Amino acid sequence: MCYAKNMPDDGNYLQQKTAIFRFYGDLNKLLVPNRRGRESMLDFKGRQTVKHLIESLGVPHTEVGLILVDGQAVDFSLIPSQDERVAIFPHFERLTLSQLHQLRPSLDGQPRFALDGHLGRLAAFLRMLGFDALYFNHIDDSTLASLAIRDGRVLLTRDRGLLKRGTVVYGCCLLTLEPRLQLLQVVRRYHLTHYLKPFTRCMVCNGQLHEVRKADVLTQLEPKTRRYFDEFERCADCDKVYWAGSHHTRMLAVIEWLLQQVPPQAEMCTYARGNL
Ligand SMILES: [Zn+2]
């Protein structure tokens, strides 16, 4: 149950107030250093929502999994009062919060993604694992956000400004430039190990792969491939042909590494109330 804790209008829109903010987990990586891992004061004027104040400190609303004000779960529309303590948590890996609060509609089933233009390798990795990952080399922010919203896709980007758009519901701010670590962050956040279907989607265009007879693709194969391989799949959209060659072996190593990093029984997040 979400507890809307808005205070009655005090009649003074420019009243100076101070609230105490504390961010947890990876959210600290999005803060300036002197606000990380500790309570810090935030001065503001008038009736500003907790969502606006959190974003003013550098954390897009998409990254927030839970907000507690004086120990009560609240939604983004809360307007903090003087001296209130605001605790902001990231998405929990293993804790279901649906009974506690609802900052956004739950993302049911297998997530689909829309990726920013600088995330080509992450898009290829996600497709390799079988996920629907929309990606274009060159796409403007408005179009990308619209596509994500239209299809209920999770917007993946390193651009915090893009994630702060009010219309964006689901998003993930990638904390690293390294594609494999980006993949790990996304797999952990969205529990993707439950949905893995490796080598079922085209890494180039996101199309579905289908088995195809060798005789039907013979003209598309190099001589060595023709000699050593007999099983093939073809993209339904762009006709690219796939087989279990050296690229396949490298991708298997990525999957094995990923499963080592995300064990099936990951520890439940344990932010104790006493530490807030
Ligand atoms: Zn394709």
Higher pLDDT, 272 or 246: 246
What's the 37 CA to ligand 1 centre distance in angstroms?
A: 45
Neighbours of ion ligand 1 (CB under 5 A): 202, 204-205, 207, 235, 237-238, 240
Q: Out of 4-8, 16-20, 250-254, pick the least confident.
A: 4-8
What's the 132 CA to ligand 1 centre distance in angstroms?
A: 12
What's the 176 CA to ligand 1 centre distance in angstroms?
A: 27
What pLDDT does residue 12 have?
Answer: 57
What's the 136 CA to ligand 1 centre distance in angstroms?
A: 13
What pLDDT does residue 267 have?
Answer: 36
What pLDDT does residue 96 have?
Answer: 56
Domain ranges of the chain: 16-106
Percent helix, strand, coil in the chain, to 5, is 30, 20, 50
C-alpha–C-alpha distance, residues 133 and 201, integer Å: 10
Fold annotation for 16-106:
Ubiquitin-like (UB roll) (3.10.20)
> For residue 91, is it left (φ>0), alpha (ψ between -120 and 50) or beta?
beta
What pLDDT does residue 102 have?
Answer: 76
What's the 44 CA to ligand 1 centre distance in angstroms?
A: 51
What pLDDT does residue 92 have?
Answer: 76
Q: Report pTM.
A: 0.85
